[in-house]
């Protein structure tokens, strides 16, 4: 009985989050709103923080990392313009929540996380939700996916000094990257479209992410 009530409460909070955090702030993509209405965010959050599953802020997931605020996940996903023909590269698997949303929209998601424990936990949660169109890699995402594959979309969910060169090279011409660019404290969320002779960039809004640590990122 207790458990059923808890589930109902979380479902109510999820509906409230979609309405009062996403729709009210301009998230309009109906497919994305449906996915976020259905996806149990609590599954991606450590037990001690589960009561904050639908809070309007980042929540700790361990090892000094956080699951991003629901609105920023929605905004980045909407800006990435993912469809069923897209192969998406994600840097910063973290909890796997963003990965799960991307996987529901894309052909396949390739996700890199530098902390092995996060990658393994995310993989377990996605498997338990029957989300199978995802490949996981543990390592430094700033060096790119460890094959010569090219991607239609790239999303970085940690603060980057710029789009790392190996990732710029792995993005197809006409492809799109969403990257929080800037130092540790505050960044600008930037949309970058790859053209024949460089990138068209557009600033979306200010944001705040943990650092992307790696060869073409920041030091620890």
Q: Which residues are part of the catalytic machinery?
A: 68
Q: Which residue among 70, 92, 175, 180 contacts ligand SAH (CB under 6 A)?
A: 92
- Alpha-carbon gap, residue 32 to 35, rounded angstroms: 5
Q: What b-and-e string marks burial along 152-172, b requiring 16 or more CB atoms within 10 Å of the CB?
A: bbbbbbbbbbebbeebbebbe
The encoded tokens of residue 147 equal 């094959």
Q: Which residue among 10, 86, 158, 179 contacts ligand SAH (CB under 6 A)?
A: 158
Specify whether the CB–CB gap between 194 and 175 falls below 8 A: yes
Interaction pattern, residues 46-85, with ligand SAH; x per rule: CB under 6 A: -------------------xxxx----x------------
Q: Is 152 in the site for ligand SAH (CB under 6 A)?
A: no
Q: Considering only CA atoms, which of 152, 212, 157 is closest in space to residue 189? A: 157
- Among left, alpha and beta (phi > 0; psi -120 to 50; other), residue 198 is left
Q: Is 101 in the site for ligand SAH (CB under 6 A)?
A: no
Which among 9-17, 25-33, 112-120, 174-182 is the span making contact with ligand SAH, rule CB under 6 A?
Answer: 112-120
Q: Is 144 in the site for ligand SAH (CB under 6 A)?
A: no
Q: Which residue among 11, 55, 129, 213 contacts ligand SAH (CB under 6 A)?
A: 213
Q: Is 21 in the site for ligand SAH (CB under 6 A)?
A: no
Specify whether the CB–CB gap between 14 and 70 falls below 8 A: no
The residues that touch ligand SAH, with contacts defined as CB under 6 A, are 65-68, 73, 91-92, 94-95, 97-98, 112-115, 118, 140-142, 157-158, 210, 212-214, 217
């Amino acid at each position: 009985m207790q458990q059923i009530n808890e589930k109902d409460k979380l479902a109510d909070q999820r509906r409230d989050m979609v309405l009062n955090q996403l729709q009210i702030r301009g998230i309009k993509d109906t497919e994305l709103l449906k996915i976020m209405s259905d996806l149990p965010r609590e599954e991606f959050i450590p037990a001690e923080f589960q009561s904050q599953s639908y809070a309007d802020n980042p929540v700790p997931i361990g090892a000094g990392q956080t699951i991003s605020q629901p609105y920023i996940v929605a905004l980045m996903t909407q800006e990435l313009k993912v469809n069923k023909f897209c192969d998406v590269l994600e840097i910063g698997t973290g909890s796997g929540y963003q990965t799960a949303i991307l996987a529901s929209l894309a052909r396949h998601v390739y996700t890199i996380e530098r902390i092995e424990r996060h990658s393994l936990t995310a993989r377990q949660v996605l498997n338990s939700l029957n989300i199978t169109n995802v490949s996981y890699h543990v390592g430094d995402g700033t060096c790119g996916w460890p094959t010569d594959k090219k991607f239609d979309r790239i999303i970085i969910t940690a603060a980057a000094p710029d789009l790392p060169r190996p990732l710029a090279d792995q993005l197809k011409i006409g492809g799109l990257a969403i990257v929080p660019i800037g130092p540790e404290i505050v960044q600008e969320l930037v949309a970058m479209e790859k053209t024949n002779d460089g990138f068209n960039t557009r600033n979306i809004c200010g944001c705040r992410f943990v650092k992307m640590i790696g060869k073409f990122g920041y030091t620890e």
